[in-house]
C-alpha cells in the first residue's frame, strides 16, 4: 500500500506542477506591456547605425588608372582600416560603374571598400576638392 501512495503522490505532484506551469504562462502573457521602454529599441538601432558608419570610414587615395568598360579603378591608397589593409596601389571593382563618372587620373579621392564574396569592392567614391 505504501507503494501505491507513492505512485499516487507522484501522479498528483505531476498534475499540480503542470497546472502551476499553465497558470504562470497564461498570466505572463496577460501582463500589460505599458511599462516597456521602447526608447531602448531606438538606442540599439542608433548604436548599430554608428557601428556601420564607423566600419565604412572613407580612405584617402590618388587615382592611377580608370577602366570604365570593366568598372575598375586603380588607386594608390592609405591604409584601409575597416578591412585591415595597409597602404598600397591596387585595382578595385566599383559597386556601380556610374561612380567613376567625373573621376580622372591623378584626382584625389575618398573611398570606402568592403569585402564581398572574397573580393574587394568600392562602395563609395567621392572626388576631393582641390585647395
Structural domains of the chain, count = 1
- The answer to whether residue 43 is domain-embedded is no
- The answer to whether residue 30 is domain-embedded is no
Which residue range(s) make up the domain with 79? 54-127
CATH number at residue 106: 2.40.50.320
Cβ–Cβ under 8 Å, residues 123 and 56: yes
- The answer to whether residue 40 is domain-embedded is no
- The pLDDT assigned to 84 comes to 93
- The pLDDT assigned to 33 comes to 52
Rounded CA gap, 47 and 52, in Å? 9
- The answer to whether residue 106 is domain-embedded is yes
- Whether the model clears a pTM of 0.85, i.e. scores above it, the answer is no
- The answer to whether residue 103 is domain-embedded is yes
- The answer to whether residue 109 is domain-embedded is yes
b/e for 4-42, b at 16 or more Cβ within 10 A?
eeeeeeeeeeeeeeeeeeeeeeeeeeeeeeeeeeeeeee
- The answer to whether residue 72 is domain-embedded is yes
Collapsed DSSP state (helix, strand, coil) of residue 82:
helix
Predicted confidence (pLDDT) per residue in 8-24, tens digit = 555 555 565 555 655 55
Q: Which of the residues in the chain have pLDDT under 70? A: 1-56, 131
- The answer to whether residue 118 is domain-embedded is yes
Amino acid at each position: 500500500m505504501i507503494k501505491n501512495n507513492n505512485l499516487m503522490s507522484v501522479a498528483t505532484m505531476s498534475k499540480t506542477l503542470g497546472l502551476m506551469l499553465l497558470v504562470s504562462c497564461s498570466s505572463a502573457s496577460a501582463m500589460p506591456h505599458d511599462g516597456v521602454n521602447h526608447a531602448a529599441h531606438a538606442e540599439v538601432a542608433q548604436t548599430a547605425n554608428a557601428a556601420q558608419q564607423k566600419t565604412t570610414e572613407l580612405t584617402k587615395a590618388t587615382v592611377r588608372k580608370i577602366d570604365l568598360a570593366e568598372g575598375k579603378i586603380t588607386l594608390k591608397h592609405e591604409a584601409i582600416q575597416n578591412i585591415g589593409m595597409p597602404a598600397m596601389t591596387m585595382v578595385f571593382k566599383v559597386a556601380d560603374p556610374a561612380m567613376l563618372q567625373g573621376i580622372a587620373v591623378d584626382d584625389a579621392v575618398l573611398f570606402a571598400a568592403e569585402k564581398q564574396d572574397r573580393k574587394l569592392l568600392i562602395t563609395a567614391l567621392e572626388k576631393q576638392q582641390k585647395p
